[in-house]
Structure 1
């Protein structure tokens, strides 16, 4: 009888580990300058799987039930450049730690003035306009005094457009 119970326990233990097909991703988002947790409400996602989490006030995040395998992880936060980690291995039944040092600031916010960083000219740069344009803005866009740039903004958006190089900066 005890042999039968031992075999049943062994079978149940093996079957539980055999069926564990997901793991967990847990980590901390930190600022490269301070290396402390920095951002509440940053989005950490696995875009190919359409799952993710929002970081807490200390930059901590947890994503449960991640299918085992190698996945791409994307981190987005307003005012910071998006960061993508191409290959993160998730092991079934395990917690994968992932601490990310986020780039400091938005590179578009560091732009001073309207001098194009490509051709280094000011006379080729015009302002970018976001949102639904009114009639006056449409006329200005037709005369190439402004460049229409879409309705959605992220907090890390270019402010100028170079007519010569066809680039936003």
Structure 2
């Protein structure tokens, strides 16, 4: 009976003095027009195999997760981040206060442009379309002008660039 009491007492003191850490950070928003939307609608989700925590960013887009045991954590957002659903992996050590700055876009950063001008150089003479999916075309002879395009890949999403500037190597 005494051994059970001592075991319980040791377990109580061990858990009382175990160190926890915190993950704090700031959301970095590339489009200032989205800041109000992010403040109203965004949830920051922190999870690992043992727990899931969710918070909203404050007025300055800062956030803090406290009393976290050490381990590997994943941070994601709801709604998802554009152009891809970005997830950040962080490792927290016992007693550590980890600071992270996370890029987040609640709206698609690729705007439809009527004039197809590159946002970097402002010109359209080196701008070519981006083609997605499997592109199969006819072989051209040397006399025929070759169609130019930039291969966008096989995965098609609701947020992707339509144009590529060869001069600046910029998708838009």
TM-score normalized by the length of structure 1? 0.51
Aligned length: 141
Question: Per the alignment, in what secondary structure is the counterpart of residue 149 of structure 1?
Answer: strand
Q: What does residue 13 of structure 2 align with?
A: 14
Aligned to 2:41: 37
Helix, strand or coil at the partner of 2:41: coil
Q: In structure 1, what is the equivalent of residue 110 of structure 2?
A: 108
Q: Structure 2 unaligned runs (5+)?
A: 28-33, 57-67
Deviations 1:66-125 (A, max 9, x none): 861586735482645666768685768xxxxx9x89434122126553101122111221
List gaps (5 residues or longer) in structure 1: 59-65, 93-97
Root-mean-square deviation (Å): 5.2
Secondary structure at 2:130 match in 1: strand
Give the conservation status (yes or no) of the 8 Å contact 2:130–2:149: yes
Equivalent position of 1:143 in the other structure: 146
Q: Which is further off, 76-85 or 159-168? A: 76-85
- Tell me the distance in 1 between the aligned counterparts of 2:124 and 2:50: 44
CA contact (8 A) 1:78 1:155 kept: no
Distance 1:67 1:5, change over 3 A: closer
